[in-house]
Amino acid sequence: MVVPVGLTAVEQVEADSADPRVLRTRRDVVDAATSLFLEEGWSAVTHAEVARRAGYSKATVYTHWPTRLDLIRASVGQICGTAKHPQPTGDLRADLVRELVDFAGDLSHGHLARVLGGVLERAGSGAAVDELRQQLWEEGAGAMQAILRLHLPPDAVEPSVALLTGGVLVRVAFQGRPATKAFIKDLVDRVLASSGHNDTH
């Protein structure tokens, strides 16, 4: 049985014993909430609008997702669960460049700017929002951390991830400039050099 992405651990356990109609309802509602979140942002995700888009009653949506934050959590779970990362090749510099080009593309043209914006705007407003922020970080940085752990000393991994992702984020989101491949290669070379890794091209 396939369990829809975007469910909490408790919901997944419950879904194992759910009938196909419940699974279909959950999938349809999470799909509707996710598309609404990506298209129009956090504030647009309401029980009424999600119910309308999914084709169910508000009561049905409230039954499974009592708060708007539950709908957002399910949406972020689906987004993270379907995210794709480039397959590592073992070439540290090339793997980091590919990962950051992908990240820059998601910031510039994809869903990530809207998702990050909504979560950061509400950071510190409650434990559930902080959990969402942590979920986004772990999903977004996990692949890069895994790449760096193979090549750098353990104490250099987290600072390097922060410098690499921060450099791209500042370039795209704050400076409003494209994070070109040339910019990303230069950023990677500088960060690797600062970490004591000299195998740059």
Q: What pTM did the predictor assign?
A: 0.72
By the 10 Å C-beta count (0-12 exposed, 13-18 middle, 19+ buried), 96 is classed as buried
Tens of pLDDT, residue by residue over 115-151, are: 777 777 887 787 878 888 888 888 778 889 999 999 9
**Residue 151 and residue 189 in one domain:** yes
**Residue 22 and residue 107 in one domain:** no
**Residue 112 and residue 143 in one domain:** yes
Q: Is residue 113 part of a domain?
A: yes
**Residue 114 and residue 48 in one domain:** no
144: domain range?
Answer: 86-194
CB 3, CB 75: distance < 8 Å: no
The CATH number linked to 140 is 1.10.357.10
**Residue 72 and residue 98 in one domain:** no
- Is the confidence at residue 5, as pLDDT, over 50? no
**Residue 72 and residue 52 in one domain:** yes
Q: Is residue 36 part of a domain?
A: yes
Q: Is residue 3 part of a domain?
A: no
> What token pair was written down for 76?
């972020």
**Residue 23 and residue 64 in one domain:** yes
**Residue 127 and residue 165 in one domain:** yes
Question: Half-sphere exposure (CA, 13 Å, Cβ side) for 70?
Answer: 16
Tens of pLDDT, residue by residue over 75-108, are: 888 877 777 777 889 999 999 999 999 889 888 8
**Residue 95 and residue 185 in one domain:** yes
Q: Is residue 66 part of a domain?
A: yes
**Residue 110 and residue 70 in one domain:** no
Q: Is residue 63 part of a domain?
A: yes
Q: Is residue 61 part of a domain?
A: yes
Q: Is residue 44 part of a domain?
A: yes
Choose among 169, 163, 185: nearest CA to 136.
169
Tens of pLDDT, residue by residue over 8-61, are: 544 554 555 567 888 899 999 999 999 998 888 888 899 999 999 999 999 999
- Is the confidence at residue 196, as pLDDT, over 50? yes
